[in-house]
Amino acid sequence: MLPAAIIFQIAGGLSLLLGIYCRLGALLLIIFTIPAMIKMHNFWQVDDTMRTIEKTLFMKDIAIVGGLLAIFILGPGIFSLDALLLSSRKL
């Protein structure tokens, strides 16, 4: 599982950073983040001392997934390489 996680994080992160295939990169990161947050931040099974920390980290990951969903649905911005490549094809 570790090699797949590394590939998903590097490929998804680079695609968002560079603005190439942003929707695919966001989807890869969503596919990685949801199972990882459920497995790693299971605040419902820890004792009271760690519950607040794990719940905070879980909610942080929920926010990240929300941002990735926005990129996946809305697509890249006008300054991404995807947008530049699409506008040059129309010329």
**What is the DSSP-derived secondary structure letter of residue 9?**
H
Instruction: Enter the pTM of the model.
Output: 0.82
The residues spanned by each domain of the chain are 2-90
Q: Render pLDDT for 1-56 as a digit per residue (tens, 0 to 9).
A: 889 889 989 999 999 988 888 999 999 999 999 999 999 988 889 888 899 999 99
Q: At what angle do helices 22-40 and 2-18 cross, to 10 degrees?
A: 140
Q: What's the confidence (pLDDT) of residue 88?
A: 65
Question: What is the gyration radius of the CA atoms in the chain, in angstroms?
Answer: 16
Residue type, 42: N
Both tokens of 46, joined, read 């820890």
- Picking from 69, 66, 76, the residue whose alpha carbon sits closest to that of residue 21 is 76
Owner of token pair 């596919």: 31
Both tokens of 17, joined, read 């950073």
Q: What's the confidence (pLDDT) of residue 84?
A: 76
Compute the distance between CA of residue 8 and CA of residue 31 in angstroms, rounded to an integer: 8
